[in-house]
Structure 1
């Protein structure tokens, strides 16, 4: 595609960007009702009840700078949503675990987000959604 013939509607990253932004707008509406923001939601969704997560893991998985993730995690700790401890294996690493309050909030928020997601994909075949996920994963890996 030449610049002279550029049409944003034919540019895949235009769609990726605006769909992502629109999703976050909608997500933010639901999360506000539960007292959550998007960064805190991301952290809670990355938590595993049986395995603490390092701050660097959370930053990497959410494409967030580590210094920003550290601030997010400590803000969540102050709200009682997570605990932060120094790793026993490596004193330079902070490990994060969701509290019962954090998991309960994640579950409540998930119900709202799941309903919104279902409405968004209503009428689409599971195979289409799977193919979309696969293609986006491939694009991500190439970036």
Structure 2
């Protein structure tokens, strides 16, 4: 009788395994969700003339307060040159203002304006139904658990910097 080595069930999620199926791969579903969400949020934001980079910057500033351009890039998961250009356009539209950090002239700080705060309220109104639809049938405990699992996965991945 030959002894066969059993592969742990958890390995079916590993693309290196012969028994791998894409639907068993968590990153498949993360990408599917992200893609579908991105399309839906773009559509909702387009109605109020906001794009995803502006949305991310505005919500970062609303929550974090004054931030450096580098801090915003980290929160918005975008490259520094992209964020810098977006902030310049947002400044022209009076959504944000900038200043040089007093103790370090190399750092540009960004703060939200009154018009930017109004835009956040418009965004909340424009996207509230998408949030409700996205989490339909899920309890608060399930959403918290999902967030904890995603946070753990995030911390397990290598830092992109």
Using the size of structure 1 for normalisation, the TM-score is 0.93
Matches within 5 A, 1:9-24: 9-24=23-38
Aligned partner of 1:130 in structure 2 is 144
Q: Which secondary structure state, in structure 1, belongs to the residue aligned with residue 104 of structure 2?
A: coil
Matches within 5 A, 1:1-143: 1=12, 2-48=16-62, 51-143=65-157
Q: Which secondary structure state, in structure 2, belongs to the residue aligned with residue 83 of structure 1?
A: strand
Gaps of 5+ in 1: none
What are the superposed Cα offsets for residues 56-86 of structure 1, whole Å, 9 maximum, x if unpaired?
0000111111111111111111111111111
What are the superposed Cα offsets for residues 77-130 of structure 1, whole Å, 9 maximum, x if unpaired?
111111111111110000001111111011111122122101211121111111
Give the Cα–Cα distance (whole angstroms) in 2 for the partners of residues 122 and 111 of structure 1: 18
| RMSD (Å) for aligned C-alpha atoms | 1.5
How has the CA–CA distance of structure 1 residues 50 and 118 changed in structure 2, closer, same or farther, with 3 Å as cutoff? closer
Using the size of structure 2 for normalisation, the TM-score is 0.84
Indicate if the aligned counterparts of 1:82 and 1:96 stay in contact, CA closer than 8 A. yes
Question: If you compute each CA radius of gyration, which structure gives the higher value, 1 or 2?
Answer: 2
Give the Cα–Cα distance (whole angstroms) in 1 for the partners of residues 64 and 51 of structure 2: 24
* Equivalent residues, number: 143
Give the Cα–Cα distance (whole angstroms) in 2 for the partners of residues 52 and 31 of structure 1: 24
How has the CA–CA distance of structure 1 residues 62 and 50 changed in structure 2, closer, same or farther, with 3 Å as cutoff? closer
